[in-house]
Amino acid sequence: MKIFFPLTSYYPSQIGGVSNTVFWHIEELEKNNINCSIVCTNIGIKNNEVSLNEFNKTKYGNIYYGKGGMFDLKILFKSFSQVKDNEVIHTNALFDPIGMLTFFFGKIFYPSKLYICSVRGAISDTALSYSPVKKKIALFIYRKLNKNVIFHATSDDEFKNISKVLKTDNKIYLPNYMKTATRIENINVKKKLVFLGRIHPIKRIENLIKAVRMSDNFVKNGFELDIIGTYEERHSWYFSKLKKLTFESNLEDKVNFLGHIQGKEKEIKIAESYALVLPSDSENFGNVVIESLNQGTPVIASNKTPWSILPEFEAGFFVGNSPSSLSITINDFLSISSEKYLNYRKNAIDLVDQKYDIKKNIFKWIKKYQQELN
């Protein structure tokens, strides 16, 4: 089987969760003798980290890193040329320019190919509120070309939304599976909460800052909040807003903006944190939740994310993302007994091992590809 993945960014780029999610996915497919090709930009790639403008055969696919942006014609033509030679075209993120334009090209000139589109949170009401005119045009084209296309959802809500927004019932539901990082052993948990992700308005980080200010247990018991992540230049105003809010709330010594952290340093930061908080208005999945649970760090997730399983496993909380709701949960969680807290950490690891390990679940994807091809 030969599968093509047109993407804007791909490992070792760390621009967005899709870069790593698709990397883990392809790496396991290659281990199972499925040939994967990728065309992407060099966005998020350091100088001399990879060879550009040529295919690189690796254990995680045959990759073309194009030097240029997401609308670079050379990269787009290289992506279009791959459609002919692959049985399956698997796009990721519905409005990703390279994936979207390759899909449109393929459906017009090679309509008999199998197309799988991983939606990746693109059709939630919140996500559609950004650049709405462009997205309405793209959705109109998707609806016209949705025959023999399988749309992939990673959450229950997204699975329902596909029928509503894309006007099709050709859909599958499989969660994100991840290659779990090495667990940090014998860690000393510090009085820290952590946010990990993009600095973007949809993440509602301001609600988290307000929430910790309202929590007596946070303020009086020496806790701090680490905010790990970077922002695109177009969202610099939002970062400035968060810094101003921190200053006005007298939290300069309690809220730390740490920028981008990766690798083992990131895993240590997660492992030593008391809890990770994800206050987003919308998440199609939230890879950071699995990263946190994998290190035994419980998660407080907004009920606008797909993480209702957390309280079921007693691995975290699923709550409203208003400052008051977050504050109540944080305040209560910071006061539980050591024994109960250690149980949360154990349950967090058990949840990852049972539900989200890609090595144990890649067969589900392979079976799906084969079924649809047949």
Model pLDDT for residues 299-327, shown as the tens digit of each residue: 999 999 989 999 999 999 999 999 999 99
Tokens of 5: 């993945």
pLDDT at 125: 87
Q: Is 371 exposed, middle or buried (0-12, 13-18, 19+ CB in 10 A)?
A: exposed
Q: Is 142 left (phi over 0), alpha (psi -120 to 50) or beta?
A: alpha
Q: What is the pLDDT of residues 146-193, one digit of tens each?
A: 988 999 999 888 999 999 999 999 999 999 898 888 999 999 999 999
What is the distance between the alpha carbons of residues 128 and 135, in angstroms, rounded to a whole number?
A: 7
Provide mean pLDDT across the span 123-133: 89
CATH number 3.40.50.970 given to 2-178+358-373: no
Q: What is the mean pLDDT of the chain?
A: 95
Angle 172-116-39 from CA coordinates, rounded to 5°: 140
Residue 225, CA distances (Å) to 47, 186, 204 in order = 33, 22, 15
pLDDT at 235 over 80: yes
Percentage of residues of the chain with pLDDT beyond 90: 86
pLDDT at 345: 98
pLDDT interval class at 283 (50, 70, 90): confident
Give the closest residue to 308 by CA, choosing from 319, 294, 297, 298: 319
List the chain domain ranges: 2-178+358-373, 192-355
Q: Is 79 exposed, middle or buried (0-12, 13-18, 19+ CB in 10 A)?
A: buried
What is the distance between the alpha carbons of residues 346 and 206, in angstroms, rounded to a whole number?
A: 30
CATH number 3.40.50.720 given to 192-355: no
Percentage of residues of the chain with pLDDT beyond 70: 100
Task: List strand residue ranges (DSSP E) for 119-250, in order.
Answer: 149-153, 171-173, 192-196, 224-228
pLDDT at 284 over 80: no
Q: Which residues contact 127 (CB under 8 A, 6 or more apart)?
A: 121, 202, 282
What is the distance between the alpha carbons of residues 350 and 282, in angstroms, rounded to a whole number?
A: 25
Tokens of 296: 């035994």
151-277-197-308 Cα dihedral, nearest 10 degrees: -10
pLDDT at 310: 97
Cis peptide preceding 175, ω within 30 of 0: no
pLDDT at 246: 98
What is the distance between the alpha carbons of residues 23 and 26, in angstroms, rounded to a whole number?
A: 5
Tokens of 149: 């296309």
pLDDT interval class at 124 (50, 70, 90): confident
Provide mean pLDDT across the span 330-359: 95
